[in-house]
Amino acid sequence: MQNDSLTNRKNCFICADCQKFSPIGQTFRADTMDYSGLYWSYQGAGFAIDIHDLFIKEDYLLKELPICQPDAALIVSFIITANAEFFDPYQELHSNSALFIDPKKTKERLLLHAHMPFRSVTISFSRELLNQQLQTYSSHTNQSFIIQTKSAIIKPLEKVAKDIYLCHYEGDSAQLFFEAKAKEALSIMIHHLNQPQATCISKNDQQAIANVARYIDHHYAYDIPQELLEQISLMSGTKLKQCFKKFYQMSITEYTQRKRIAVAEDLLLTTTLDIKDIAKSVGYQSASRFSVLYKRYKNITPLEIKTIRTITAPSICDLCRHNHHAISNQKQIKHKKS
């Protein structure tokens, strides 16, 4: 397992004619023992945008965030596809999640797991831009980073990220487009951070909710009656639902689904079980229903996971593929001559 930075230019070469992303930015191709794929970056006025489209071959530990603006005051990252974990403190990072980071407060370490794509769109903001847009900017939280999975935040940020990822504008139109998208992402994040905090939950209620979560963790494959969870928590149905959502930022149903999908992901990556058998093992009699939920939470289907285990690199544009083969052939010719 390596310990490095994905944006180390020593591991990349420039794809000057790459057609996968907007030509206003710069595209690099990496092909190492641990990962391969494309990295795109664009530096705007007071902000920078980075796109990673990589396939992780071996577990890879990052000591720093892969961004092209080292003096950023605030970072918003939408994770399209990933299977990873942060440390200090420990938090899982999955597909379809958003990451808000104060780089001054964190020395983040991110472990990217093998045999999975890592696709993300990250926007970093300078303090000058933040002060210009917000009059005065100060961090809204003591946390160094916040991982969000709530649909109210994910849906608008997902649209921004995909618009950036798929953009092929050039020149002035591209500059205006990316500036607008960066400010849109900033607006979404600030709106979320300015929302009033939920009413504090008592320690007794926190313990009761934690007991419910532990029970679900151990019995996720079964249909758990609501009445049983009410008995475990010693709460009414209404209070249980409200407290659980405040504490975990998701409903009991979503918590159960995420637990099932997390177990299924491990089975897809480490076993040769059929998809229908994996679906049944985590509580779904219908393989199609399982696939729909897996796609919702992981932004990739179980079938694609099965297929991707035999792939060593993500899809790239034809020019990148042609240039990569040409460079490889030149290296082979030089090696033979020597």
Domain annotation covers residue 336: no
**pLDDT, position 138:** 53
Q: List, for residues 139-174, the tens digit of each pLDDT value.
A: 555 555 566 666 678 889 999 999 999 999 999 999
C-beta separation of 305 from 269 below 8 A: yes
**Is pLDDT above 50 for 3?**
no
Same domain flag for 212 and 284? yes
Tokens of 211: 């007991």
Q: Which of 193, 219, 244 is the last residue of a domain?
A: 193
Q: Is residue 60 part of a domain?
A: yes
- Bridge partners of 116, per DSSP, are 56
Q: Domain containing 266: what range?
A: 203-298
Find the distance separating the first CA and the last CA of the chain, reported in whole Å: 32
Together in a domain, 224 and 120:
no
**Does the residue 224 lie in any domain?**
yes
Within-domain flag for 316? no
Q: Do 21 and 111 sit in the same domain of this protein?
A: yes
Q: Domain boundary residue among 193, 225, 253?
A: 193
Number of domains in the chain: 2
Whether residue 141 is found in the same domain as residue 44: yes
Task: Say if residue 185 is in the same domain as residue 217.
Answer: no
Alpha-carbon distance of 289 to 200, in angstroms, equals 36
Highest-confidence segment of 18-32, 126-140, 279-293? 279-293
Domain assignment present for 332: no
* Residue 34 region by backbone torsions, left for phi larger than 0, else alpha for psi between -120 and 50, else beta: alpha
Are 231 and 155 part of one and the same domain? no
What are 36-94's pLDDT values in tens digits? 889 999 999 999 999 999 989 889 888 766 655 667 888 899 999 888 888 766 778 88
CA distance 171 to 160: 20
Same domain, 28 and 82: yes
Same domain? 135 vs 34: yes
Q: Are residues 220 and 134 in the same domain?
A: no
Render pLDDT for 287-331 as a digit per residue (tens, 0 to 9).
Answer: 999 999 999 988 889 998 888 766 555 555 655 655 555 545 554
Domain presence at residue 329: no
Final residue of a structural domain among 193, 213, 235: 193
Percentage of the chain beyond pLDDT 70 is: 77
Domain match, 58 and 148 both: yes
Q: In CATH, what number is assigned to the domain containing residue 18? A: 2.60.120.10
Q: Are residues 231 and 113 in the same domain?
A: no
Q: Residue written as tokens 């659980």?
A: 244
What's the 3-state SS for the chain? CEEECCCCHHHEEECCCCCCCCCCCEEEEEECCCEEEEEEEEECCCEEEEEEEEEECCCEEECCCCCCCCCCCEEEEEEEECEEEEECCCEEEECCEEEEECCCCCCCEEEECCCEEEEEEEEEECHHHHHHHHCCCCCCCCCCEEEECCHHHHHHHHHHHHHHHHCCCCHHHHHHHHHHHHHHHHHHHHHHHCCCCCCCCCHHHHHHHHHHHHHHHHHCCCCCCHHHHHHHHCCCHHHHHHHHHHHHCCCHHHHHHHHHHHHHHHHHHHCCCCHHHHHHHCCCCCHHHHHHHHHHHHCCCHHHHHHHCCCCCCCCCHHHHHHHHHHHHHHHHHHHHC
User: Are residue 54 and residue 158 in the same domain, yes or no?
Assistant: yes
CATH of the domain at 227: 1.10.10.60
Q: How far is CA 259 from the centre of its chain?
A: 17
Q: Is residue 315 part of a domain?
A: no
Amino acid 331: pLDDT: 46
Domain-embedded: residue 308: no
